[in-house]
Chains A and B, each alone.
Chain A
Amino acid sequence: MIYLDNSATTRVLPEAADAACRAMTEQFYNPASAYQPAVATEKAVEEARARLSSALGFTTEELLYTSGGTESNNMAILGSLKPKRGKRRILTTLGEHPSVYEVFRSLENEAETEVVFIGLNADGTANLEQLAALLTADTALVSLMHVNNEVGAVNDLASAAALIRRLSPDALLHSDGVQAFCKRPFARPPVDLYSISAHKFHAPKGIGALYVRNGFKFAGGQIGGGQERNLRSGTSNVPGILGLDAALAVYRSNQERWIAQMRTCKEKLAKNLLSIPDAVINGPAPEEGAPHILSVSFPGVRGEVLVNALSEREICVSTGSACSTHKKGQNRILTAMGVAGVRAEGTLRFSFCPFNTPEEIDTVSGILSEQVAFLRRFRRR
């Protein structure tokens, strides 16, 4: 089995699985309880929170644990808009994950809220000129993903933040960092809200985090027992939190080497696949962009058919976001990049992890070029 769908999810590291397992069978206490083992559990959770915060230069009070990327994105948008009253504009891009895009769509029905979508450049990055033109004094929120999940384009958050400071000083900037965290050097992102999901970096599913900068009103998410500074109630997911912490520790001590390894695989695959006639890369050039996502089109073959053909040979790839495979119709992100027709239909997304090898890449390239050649004999007439 060759797994090249690490943007959908990743295999949990043994260290992370062990940590989660111990938190379920040994340190299983509710951190909010009063007795000694519970206090020790709370301490372990807070130490983990401190390590996660410090990885990105946040303070511990600014970091909330959530159930994952979708909850973080939902909470970031809805929680920051709720305390604000009056007419306002909110902006996001056509390249966002559904957990941002669909939340903005749902706000289109609100009378006082004007929802505006920013287009993408041909390489999949957000069109910042358009952003500059659309920022107004009454703009309340901008959501701009850090790394695009389908083509690996990296948005320039610093430039966007500077534009916002100048043109819409009251606006908050949220960034969906789900595909960026751990895959880019650890540095404080210049934003007010930032979403993280653990299962994208070899930690368990069902745990994520949201950074909420100190200094503005934020409504938070679910209501209940007052956990997470009363912003996100619910018994702490201790196995998830400690699993995330363990995965992060391993990633931090290997990050440079691991990023290089993914980049090597990506560039090698890109080079190999470009020898297939008419194959074309979507998004940034392979040596640019995120190290772990590569989108390639093979005009004349449908992406789904290639996915099935590779699956039969025990290779896992996808046509795009796993969150979109149950929906019909055109790919929104590729369309916004100006990729259409047979090229869009023939798109595969490969996403790497540090454990992919150049040998795997050669195997995949060989099978793909053979399959593309065979399947192209049967084009739609």
Chain B
Amino acid sequence: MEPVLLVRYAEIHLKGLNRPYFERSLMKRIELALRPLRVKVVREQGRVFVFGLPESAIGESAQKLTRVFGIHSVSPALAVEKEWEAIECAAKSLVAARIAGLDQASFKVTARRADKRFPMRSQEICRLLGGRLLEAFPALRVDVHQPDFYVGVEIRQDQAFLFAEELLGVGGMPVGSNGHAMLLISGGIDSPVAGYMIAKRGVSISAVHFYSYPYTSERAREKVADLTHILAGFAGEITLYLVPFTEIQLAIYEKCPQSETTVLMRRLMMKISERIALSCGAQALITGESIGQVASQTIESLTVTNDAVTLPVFRPLIGFDKEEIVEYAQRIGSYDTSILPFEDCCTVFVPQHPVTKPKLEDLRRSEALVDFAPMIERAIAQTEIRAVD
């Protein structure tokens, strides 16, 4: 009897001929998520099995895998010989642990016979095992419709697997299976959620943050690193680019029309982000924008911002209300960090009456008032690069 993890994958099973590619990505992600433990990950007919875990690490490892994109669910399981006594014995030990401390519980048995050479059919397995468990545990009763838990039996090529618990995963696709994108991360509530959603689709993430020392503090920068760390808990290691932005912000403040400062600032952030994205092989930009949330996120403003770059810009929150984004942030655990009171951009640079319907020609003209090119070069040259995991 060996403790293992049985992993069911999410959308990958819809894949056709390229399914092995996604499966391999997922296996690699599972290995990375369980480090520093060294495990053996094996795939077999629509399942992935994790071997080599010490028994004491099973629970925590299962929890870790529920945060890995591409996984539908995880079950701590027992791998046994394909012999009836071994199967029954494993089932009893799982049930004993599952109902410890309970006066009564309802259950059912489900069985899958992937190895058709096994002499009993699935129905027979369910009936016989269910009967034996009822005899052994007086607290149990059968409920095939809404049981408190179910005992799963899977008869595979080499072994049988039994489990009594199924933990739901986050779904999605394994990170790294769908390219690489650059997230613009601010320190607010929205951008970590945007990064999460794109990473969930299997995209590996880098992140870029603009800071305006002394207008923003060291603590604000550390807060962004903390948010990146939370995101990395799902998305794997993230390279974080910290770009000094004060010089550009001050130039906009002094030389450009006041009402346009925010949109101009965003155009320049997009340009720098694209430069960094291209230098590290990212194929798209990600922002946390949502239509109409603030002046710089009206359709007109988004059009003007979009015009600054040629890479595709992914805005997964575009149709979300603030409330929905907050709920999502709470679910992924970034909310409490996001609302810490360290300003991500000083109110000095927020105009009293920002333009809400900027015209592209006007903005291009305003941008031409300052020679930003050397400032952009300096900002990129002074960018600090950190690996966050």
The residues of B that contact A311 with a CB separation of less than 8 Å are: 214, 218
The reply to whether B341 and A378 form a contact with Cβ atoms under 8 Å apart is no
**Contact A308-B214, Cβ < 8 Å, known A379-B348, A381-B351:** yes
Q: How far is the CA of A326 from the CA of B343 in the complex (A)?
A: 12
The listed residue with most A CB atoms (<10 A of its CB), out of B214, B349, B350, is B214
Closest CB of chain B to A71's CB: distance in Å? Answer: 26
Q: Is B372 an interface residue, CB under 8 A from the partner?
A: no
The reply to whether A309 and B348 form a contact with Cβ atoms under 8 Å apart is no
The reply to whether B214 and A305 form a contact with Cβ atoms under 8 Å apart is yes
The reply to whether B218 and A305 form a contact with Cβ atoms under 8 Å apart is no
Question: Which chain B residue lies CB-closest to A327?
Answer: B341
Picked from A302, A307, A381, the residue with its CB within 8 Å of the CB of B346 is A302
The reply to whether A381 and B258 form a contact with Cβ atoms under 8 Å apart is yes
Q: Is B136 an interface residue, CB under 8 A from the partner?
A: no
313-354 of chain A: CB within 8 A of chain B: 326-328
Q: Is B216 an interface residue, CB under 8 A from the partner?
A: yes
Q: Is A312 an interface residue, CB under 8 A from the partner?
A: yes
Q: Is A45 an interface residue, CB under 8 A from the partner?
A: no
Q: How far is the CA of A378 from the CA of B250 in the complex (A)?
A: 8
**Contact A377-B254, Cβ < 8 Å, known A308-B214, A308-B218:** yes
The reply to whether B347 and A380 form a contact with Cβ atoms under 8 Å apart is yes
Q: Is B177 an interface residue, CB under 8 A from the partner?
A: no
Q: How far is the CA of A358 from the CA of B173 in the complex (A)?
A: 63
Question: Which chain A residue lies CB-closest to B261?
Answer: A381
The reply to whether B352 and A381 form a contact with Cβ atoms under 8 Å apart is yes
Closest CB of chain B to A94's CB: distance in Å? Answer: 22
The residues of B that contact A328 with a CB separation of less than 8 Å are: 341
The listed residue with most A CB atoms (<10 A of its CB), out of B213, B218, B348, is B348
Q: How far is the CA of A312 from the CA of B258 in the complex (A)?
A: 28
Q: How far is the CA of A105 from the CA of B197 in the complex (A)?
A: 43
317-363 of chain B: CB within 8 A of chain A: 340-341, 343, 346-352
208-228 of chain B: CB within 8 A of chain A: 213-218
Closest CB of chain B to A324's CB: distance in Å? Answer: 11
Closest CB of chain B to A320's CB: distance in Å? Answer: 14
The reply to whether A308 and B348 form a contact with Cβ atoms under 8 Å apart is no
Q: Is B149 an interface residue, CB under 8 A from the partner?
A: no
The residues of A that contact B350 with a CB separation of less than 8 Å are: 380
Q: Is A362 an interface residue, CB under 8 A from the partner?
A: no
The reply to whether A305 and B215 form a contact with Cβ atoms under 8 Å apart is yes
The reply to whether A308 and B215 form a contact with Cβ atoms under 8 Å apart is yes
Q: Is A135 an interface residue, CB under 8 A from the partner?
A: no
The residues of A that contact B216 with a CB separation of less than 8 Å are: 308
Q: How far is the CA of A308 from the CA of B348 in the complex (A)?
A: 15
The residues of B that contact A307 with a CB separation of less than 8 Å are: 214, 217
Q: How far is the CA of A309 from the CA of B216 in the complex (A)?
A: 10
The residues of A that contact B217 with a CB separation of less than 8 Å are: 304, 307-308
Q: Is A290 an interface residue, CB under 8 A from the partner?
A: no
Closest CB of chain A to B116's CB: distance in Å? Answer: 64
Closest CB of chain A to B375's CB: distance in Å? Answer: 16
Q: How far is the CA of A378 from the CA of B215 in the complex (A)?
A: 11
The reply to whether B214 and A306 form a contact with Cβ atoms under 8 Å apart is yes
Closest CB of chain B to A298's CB: distance in Å? Answer: 13
The residues of A that contact B343 with a CB separation of less than 8 Å are: 304
Q: What are 13 residue pairs bridging A and B, where the CB atoms are less than 8 Å apart in the complex? A: A302-B348, A305-B348, A307-B217, A308-B213, A309-B214, A311-B218, A312-B213, A327-B341, A377-B254, A378-B254, A379-B348, A380-B347, A381-B258
Which residues of A approach B to under 8 Å, CB–CB?
302, 304-309, 311-312, 326-328, 375, 377-381
Which residues of B approach A to under 8 Å, CB–CB?
213-218, 250, 253-254, 258, 340-341, 343, 346-352
With A305-B346, A309-B213 given, can you name 15 additional A-B contacts, CB distance below 8 Å? A302-B346, A304-B217, A306-B214, A307-B214, A307-B217, A308-B214, A308-B215, A308-B216, A308-B218, A311-B214, A377-B254, A378-B349, A379-B348, A380-B348, A380-B350
